[in-house]
Amino acid sequence: MPVITAENLSKKFVIAHESRERYTALRDVMARGVKKIFSFPGSLWSGSTSRATKEEFWALKDLNFEINQGDRVGIIGRNGAGKSTLLKILSRITPPTEGKVTIKGRVASLLEVGTGFHPELTGRENIFLNGAILGMSRAEIRKKFDEIVAFAEVEKFLDTPVKRYSSGMYVRLAFSVAAHLEPEILIVDEVLAVGDAQFQKKCLGKMEDVSKNEGRTVLFVSHQFESLRAFCNTGVLLANGILASQSSLEECIEVYQRSTNVQRNCTYTNDDGLFFKKMILKEDQIQIGNSITIKIAHSLKYNPNNLIIAVNIKNEFGETITQILNVDNKVNSISKPGEFNIEIQNLNFIPGIYNIALWVGFDMINEIEKIDNVLQFEVSNQNFSDRHTPFSKSLKTFHKSKWESF
């Protein structure tokens, strides 16, 4: 019996290019209005001000799927594929632009651990607050209160404000409230990525118990295939807002991994960019321990001396493995206008596909521009090590070693 049915589900975002801030200031709107009044209709200027303002972007496009009762669905896809948007629509946080979803049963969504936790309130008070926010009634919380506290192992600190909690305790308490939710449908975003491994396992176990024994439906987004495999039985794969596959979890993971291998970009043009215009990666496949060179064409005309440029390298699970800054190399200003090269050396990563994200700003705080997943490269293990089995996915780096008198 399907408990969730989505028909032609689409969500559109309108991106305003003018404002770099996430919100608009009335000041700007008024200034724009004044500009519009004073520009002559039909002149060169009037057209260009309004043209550059908006661009439509479909985060989800025509999604059709059914989810049956008792399914434990793993939702996978790259960053920006629309996973979070889908969860937000299903949790009713944001409405779809088109289409419709029918949901049978009470939905609880866990998009963040400890939503609404207030640092000034005590552990006891926060359990009630967080429980209510997640959709539990007071009677329900009271009934499960002891269980929640015991599960989180915070009995001694119940009447201490949570601002004095260690981060581990905080996360445990937050998880524990969430793990005791008993809706018919539970939606979980990548929240389990925080917290220590053992407690994560305990939570997954608890949620699994609930879903297996009582036929609850769970939707679970994660980049960690291990926990998906341990928990889910079916999968949904999203790619650029489109449903790429809905089948068994293994099949989805396989399709996903195949697709990430094909899409390897060595050049990226960003014509509308404020700073980054064009990026070229000189090599798309390297051996473990080798270096890559990124050539960046930029639009900066003058030469500020507090410019920070950051290169983040992420693995295929979206985890940032390393960050390289210009100041690491004691370079504070760009010597040649127009373009520069960055050579990143000794990439001791385990074999896999890596993504590069770029950031530029002043003093690490004032962001000018950020672009994600611009370039990809592969680290390969040809003739490097004689391993016969692939590297474990939980490994991050690989180092050359000498084995003397072995």
* Rounded alpha-carbon distances, angstroms, from residue 357 to 48, 59, 81, 309, 313: 30, 20, 16, 11, 6
Q: Which is nearer to another protein, 128 or 384 (CB)?
A: 128
Q: Binding residue for another protein (CB under 8 A) from 50, 94, 320, 346?
A: 94
Q: Binding residue for another protein (CB under 8 A) from 93, 325, 327, 364?
A: 93
Q: Is 118 in the site for another protein (CB under 8 A)?
A: yes
Residue 209 CA to residue 218 CA, distance in Å, equals 12
**Contact residues for 364 (Cβ-Cβ < 8 A; gap 6+):** 308
Q: Is 162 in the site for another protein (CB under 8 A)?
A: no
Q: Is the dihedral of CA 292, 293, 299, 301 positive or negative?
A: positive
Question: What angle do helix axes 123-133 and 138-152 make, rounded to 10 degrees?
Answer: 130
Q: Binding residue for another protein (CB under 8 A) from 76, 90, 228, 243?
A: 90
Q: Is 19 in the site for another protein (CB under 8 A)?
A: no
Q: Which is nearer to another protein, 77 or 183 (CB)?
A: 183
Q: Binding residue for another protein (CB under 8 A) from 18, 25, 47, 319?
A: 25
Identify which range of 121-129, 196-204, 225-233, 368-376 contacts another protein by CB under 8 A.
121-129
8 A C-beta contact, residue 231 and residue 220 = yes
Q: Please state the closest distance from residue 164 (CB atom) to another protein, in A.
A: 13
- Helix, strand or coil, per DSSP, at residue 359: strand
Interface map 33-72 toward another protein (x if CB under 8 A): ----------------------------------------
Structural Rg of the chain based on CA atoms:
25
Q: Is 107 in the site for another protein (CB under 8 A)?
A: yes
- 204, exposed or middle or buried, with CB in 10 Å at 0-12, 13-18, 19+? middle
Q: Which residues bind another protein (CB under 8 A)?
A: 13, 22-27, 29, 88-107, 109, 111-112, 115-116, 118, 120-121, 125, 128-129, 132-134, 137-138, 184
